[in-house]
Amino acid sequence: MPAPRRLDPEDAQLALGKVQDLLRRQHLVESLAHRQTEGDQRADLVENLLHRQHESELKTLVDDLHPSDIAFILESLPKDERQTVWHLVSAKHDADVLLEVDDWVRESLIETMDHQDLVAATGNMDADELADLAPDLPPDVVAEVQKGLTEEERARLIEAMGYPEDSVGAIMDFDMVRVREDVTLEVVLRYLRRLNELPDHTDQIFVVDREDKLLGVLSLSRLLLSQLETEVRAVMDTDILTLNPLDSDADAAGAFERYDLVSAPVIDDHGRLIGRVTIAEVVDVIREDSEEQALSRAGMQEEDIFAPVRSALRNRAPWLLLNLCTAGIASLVASHFEDTVSHIVILAFLMSIVAGIGGNSGNQTMTLIIRALAVGRVTTRNVWQLIKREMLVTLLVGLCGSAAAAVFAWVLSGSPSIALVMMAAMVLNMLVGASVGVIVPMVRSRFGKDPAIGSSVLLTFATDSLGFFIFLGLATLFLI
């Protein structure tokens, strides 16, 4: 009997290193063999033997990995090497790996699979899993897989595919255990023992009537600790959190986080139980939202890290060009104060500090607001209180920080007047940054847009342009 395996995130990184080393050695052998005289049968034989040896080592290594680790390795390889490893993955892992990899990798893997391989990989998937892959699969594959489903499974698949992408319906699981309220716990236990296995993340059993309306839940702990002759209705819990299939998956994730849930029932508008959401799907939602938010703040979308240059340019260029325009406007603002800077050259060195500190202060506020919006803590009733609080915090922090900056400016320039202008400009620009950090995400959220998309670009534009204007404007008024 094999020893229990210790799960360690570094295992996948070690495996990735071994895979890359084997691929490098394989490329090296091929390169050396090509330098030999064409038609050299001995060189060709050695190349074939070494190639098969490396393939065998790669296959043995990959087959011993968890599908999640295989997905991590595929996401970390350039496209050519990714295809080489993917062709060596055992067919029994195909379905799990396709479900685990990110969308941008899944598309490249599916492109290399023929019709029969795709049908074989997806034929045994549950309806909710197949619904996740369906947008990336060729229509003829989806049609053939549907033929092998029962009417109930086919109805579930159509239902799952009909929900919006970011909704609870798109992530819910149809595999769950249901019982009636008028049976005893002994009957429930006998029923469970007849099952081959419990659905993943089963922490509770759903109690329904004959029309599948949800009446309550029976936790496994109560099932195991209560007397066997007790009826389900006597120990079931009726105070439960339920989800609607059209609820946002982000709201569901927030509920799981708030109430420490492992699973939650999904009911339709008539109260019928149609599915459940488990912690596994919620973790995926949280991770994906976190990644999207990080990319959105830089004006980017998810992309293959080894994607063709043309694809990367389409993804990154628009916001970079916008950033170039905003930087140009900031420079134009500064150019209007050329006479001021020519009279007091030290201002050219100090104004970047004013702009930079304002941007950093605004970024802190913006990060806080975006996070609060994501978890639903900002409402129309507390928005003004939140704005006033952020402005007060920024003012106090600005006064402390600007005092230190003023001392620095005084030492550098030897002028107390420049120090006072520096202090005033820094406080004002930090307030500008805080205002933009609050207003931009909230306005975008108000109109149903992602509050993180491009927010940092707009913040930089405001703090640079207005920072230069405020600092050089004050210098023009009071120093010249």
Q: Is residue 1 part of a domain?
A: no
Res 303 pLDDT > 60: no
Are 148 and 127 a contacting pair, CB within 8 Å?
no
Which of 297, 323, 355 is where one domain is finished?
Answer: 297
Q: Is residue 3 part of a domain?
A: no
What confidence category does residue 32 fall into, taking pLDDT thresholds of 50, 70 and 90?
low
Q: Total structural domains in the chain? A: 3
Are 71 and 108 a contacting pair, CB within 8 Å?
no
Same domain, residue pair 280 and 195: yes
Q: Which of 386, 377, 373 is nearest to 435 (CA)?
A: 386
Residues 296 and 77: their CA atoms lie apart, in Å, by 24
In this prediction, residue 3 carries a pLDDT of 44
Same domain, residue pair 321 and 426: yes
Is the dihedral angle over the CA atoms 254, 445, 465, 426 positive or is it negative? negative
Which residues, 6+ apart, have CB-to-CB distance to 339 below 8 Å?
Answer: 480
Cα within 13 Å of Cα(26), Cβ side: 19
Which of 108, 137, 166 is where one domain is finished?
Answer: 166
Q: Is residue 132 part of a domain?
A: yes
In this prediction, residue 468 carries a pLDDT of 92
Are 51 and 29 a contacting pair, CB within 8 Å?
yes
Same domain, residue pair 317 and 189: no
Same domain, residue pair 377 and 425: yes
Q: Which of 132, 134, 142 is nearest to 171 (CA)?
A: 132
Q: Which of 278, 265, 282 is nearest to 200 (CA)?
A: 278
Per-residue pLDDT tens over the stretch 147-197: 888 888 888 888 888 898 889 999 999 999 999 999 999 999 999 999 988
Same domain, residue pair 212 and 291: yes
Per-residue pLDDT tens over the stretch 85-119: 998 888 888 888 998 888 878 888 888 888 888 88
Which of 166, 196, 215 is where one domain is finished?
Answer: 166
Q: Is residue 303 part of a domain?
A: no
In this prediction, residue 321 carries a pLDDT of 76
Q: Is residue 171 part of a domain?
A: no
Exposed/middle/buried for residue 57 (C-beta within 10 Å: 0-12, 13-18, 19+): middle
Residue 428 region by backbone torsions, left for phi larger than 0, else alpha for psi between -120 and 50, else beta? alpha
CA dihedral 452, 456, 462, 465 (to 10 degrees): -160
For residue 339, give its domain range: 309-479
In this prediction, residue 428 carries a pLDDT of 94
Q: How far is CA 140 from CA 7, 105, 244, in A?
A: 39, 21, 32
Per-residue pLDDT tens over the stretch 377-428: 787 778 888 888 889 999 999 999 899 999 999 998 889 999 999 999 999 9
Same domain, residue pair 320 and 405: yes
Q: Is residue 173 part of a domain?
A: no
Are 137 and 118 a contacting pair, CB within 8 Å?
yes
Looking at every residue in the chain, the average pLDDT score rounds to: 84
- 444: CATH: 1.10.357.20
Same domain, residue pair 419 and 458: yes
Same domain, residue pair 21 and 161: yes
Q: Is residue 388 part of a domain?
A: yes
Higher pLDDT, 302 or 435: 435
Same domain, residue pair 286 and 388: no
- 270: CATH: 3.10.580.10
Same domain, residue pair 274 and 379: no
Q: What is the mean pLDDT of residues 40-44?
A: 56
Cα angle 420-401-403, degrees, rounded to a multiple of 5: 35
* Alpha-helical runs (H) found in 138-184: 139-147, 151-161, 168-171
- 53: CATH: 1.25.60.10
Per-residue pLDDT tens over the stretch 436-467: 998 888 888 888 777 877 677 788 889 999 99
Q: Which of 405, 389, 384 is nearest to 467 (CA)?
A: 405
Same domain, residue pair 244 and 320: no
| Percentage of the chain exceeding pLDDT 90 | 34
Res 1 pLDDT > 50: no
Per-residue pLDDT tens over the stretch 286-295: 888 777 766 6
Q: Is residue 172 part of a domain?
A: no
In this prediction, residue 2 carries a pLDDT of 44
Res 244 pLDDT > 90: yes
Per-residue pLDDT tens over the stretch 185-237: 999 999 999 998 899 999 999 999 999 999 999 999 999 999 999 999 999 99
Residues 352 and 275: their CA atoms lie apart, in Å, by 56
| Percentage of the chain exceeding pLDDT 70 | 87
Cα angle 66-71-75, degrees, rounded to a multiple of 5: 150
Residues 16 and 224: their CA atoms lie apart, in Å, by 43
Answer yes or no: pTM beyond 0.85. no
Residues 18 and 6: their CA atoms lie apart, in Å, by 19
Same domain, residue pair 50 and 121: yes
Are 236 and 184 a contacting pair, CB within 8 Å?
no
SS3 assignment, position 348: helix
